[in-house]
């Protein structure tokens, strides 16, 4: 079968990988739907989403940025495109009027092995919870959050020192390959959805500011998972001497308990910063003062004096 006519919906960098792969395929992306431009930075200038920037670069003829997904004019325009299928990557919750519109329905690229980690932040929670594997699911969009039928899945091992950022990039590449495979099978009518087992579902809710404030009053391995699971965004932090310090990478040094309270710096040299947990000890590898650059510990300590006995809170 010849390629499908696709309307592609998404917003962040994760979606860009799949859009660019589809542009190079035998399918035709007739339009992109993304978030309205948002004010960013000190000047509050309007800034396009990563997906819009990519769509403009590749001269996608139609870029839609609806405020409301049930706006009659938007729905009319969407229907007039006569797409065969909608592909969604990290976008908004779609109304039935949208996801039921094309003849082949609407499919989604989700970065977890559904039904595990349904929700807004599957990559973050995968690392936070110390999983050893994850993957990509291509699923049908239906009622319910990430609860539609599964079309394809592919597994991926998680590295011991993986961060959400590195896992994000690897999964984005995997997802871009898998969506091309899925669309080929859909076009050939050689794939059928498999219903999810809702009893196995686990949540992956949006990360809150409270989630990002790290407590060292837990096992060092768990603290490491929290820091890496929030790196580089939305970013773990703790306070040192009244100043917020962002934490990006750490190394597990010991599982043994320390006599010092959790969060205490027990070693501060030119390039090492050891902090106690309950139990265990971590070496902080990358961190950042608010408003400053992210630095490796050696560079950080050249401009910010830290003494043994000081305490993160």
User: Mind listing the pLDDT tens digit for each residue in 89-146?
Assistant: 999 999 999 999 999 999 999 999 999 999 999 999 999 999 999 999 999 999 999 9
Confidence check: pLDDT of 33 > 60: yes
pLDDT above 70 covers a percentage of the chain that reads 100
Residue range 217-267, pLDDT digits in tens: 999 999 999 999 999 999 999 999 999 999 999 999 999 989 999 999 999
Domain 5-200 belongs in CATH node 3.40.50.170: yes
Rounded Cα distance, 107 and 301, in Å: 48
Task: Specify the residue for token string 């299928």.
Answer: 85
Rounded Cα distance, 99 and 101, in Å: 6
Dihedral, CA atoms, 117, 120, 124, 130, nearest 10 degrees? -20
Q: How many CB atoms are closer than 10 A to CB 224?
A: 21
Domain 209-303 class? Answer: alpha beta
Per-residue pLDDT band for 41 (boundaries 50, 70, 90) equals confident
Which residues on neighbouring strands pair with residue 209, listed in sequence order?
none
What pLDDT shows up at residue 1?
57
In sequence order, which residues have a C-beta less than 8 Å from that of residue 273 and are 6 or more positions away?
265, 267, 283, 284, 287, 297, 301, 306
Spans of all domains in the chain: 5-200, 209-303
Asked if residue 157 lies in contact with residue 129, where contact means CB atoms within 8 angstroms, the answer is: no
Residue range 146-204, pLDDT digits in tens: 999 999 999 999 999 999 999 999 999 999 999 999 999 999 999 999 999 999 999 99
Rounded Cα distance, 226 and 228, in Å: 6
Taking the mean position of all CA atoms in its chain, how far away is CA 121?
6
What pLDDT shows up at residue 45?
86
Asked if residue 222 lies in contact with residue 203, where contact means CB atoms within 8 angstroms, the answer is: no
Averaged over 277-290, what is the pLDDT? Answer: 97
Q: What is the model's pTM?
A: 0.95
Averaged over 278-285, what is the pLDDT? Answer: 98
Short-list 13, 11, 10, 313, CA closest to 164: 13
Short-list 246, 238, 250, CA closest to 163: 250
Q: How many CB atoms are closer than 10 A to CB 108?
A: 25
Beta-sheet strands, E only, within the chain? 5-10, 28-33, 38-40, 45-47, 63-64, 85-89, 106-110, 133-140, 150-157, 236-240, 243-254, 265-268, 273-276, 281-289, 295-296
């Amino acid at each position: 079968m010849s390629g499908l006519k696709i309307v592609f919906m998404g917003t962040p960098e994760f979606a860009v990988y799949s859009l660019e792969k589809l542009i190079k395929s035998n399918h035709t992306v007739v339009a992109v739907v993304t978030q309205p431009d948002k004010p960013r930075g000190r000047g509050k200038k309007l800034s396009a989403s990563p997906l819009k920037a990519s769509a403009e670069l590749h001269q996608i003829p139609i870029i839609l940025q609806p405020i409301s997904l049930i706006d009659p004019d938007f729905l009319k325009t969407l229907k007039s495109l006569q797409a065969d299928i909608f592909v969604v990557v990290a976008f908004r919750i779609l109304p039935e009027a949208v996801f039921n519109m094309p003849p082949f329905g609407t499919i989604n690229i989700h970065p977890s092995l559904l039904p595990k980690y349904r929700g807004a932040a599957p990559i973050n929670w995968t690392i936070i919870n110390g999983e050893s594997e994850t993957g990509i699911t291509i699923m049908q969009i239906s009622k319910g959050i990430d609860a539609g039928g599964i079309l394809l899945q592919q597994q991926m091992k998680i590295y011991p020192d993986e961060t959400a950022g590195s896992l994000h990039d690897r999964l984005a590449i995997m997802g871009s390959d898998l969506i091309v495979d899925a669309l080929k099978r859909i076009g050939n009518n050689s794939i059928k959805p498999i219903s999810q087992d809702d009893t196995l579902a686990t949540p992956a809710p949006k990360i809150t500011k409270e989630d990002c404030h790290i407590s060292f009053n837990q096992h060092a391995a768990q603290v490491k998972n929290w820091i890496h699971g929030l790196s580089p965004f939305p970013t773990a932090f703790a306070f040192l001497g009244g100043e917020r310090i962002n934490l990006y990478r750490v190394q597990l040094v010991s599982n043994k308990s320390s006599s010092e309270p959790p969060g205490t710096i027990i070693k501060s040299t030119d390039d090492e910063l050891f902090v106690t947990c309950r139990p265990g000890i971590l070496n902080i590898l990358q961190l950042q003062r608010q408003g400053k650059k992210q630095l490796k510990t050696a560079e950080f300590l050249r401009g910010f004096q830290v003494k043994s006995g000081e305490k993160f809170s």
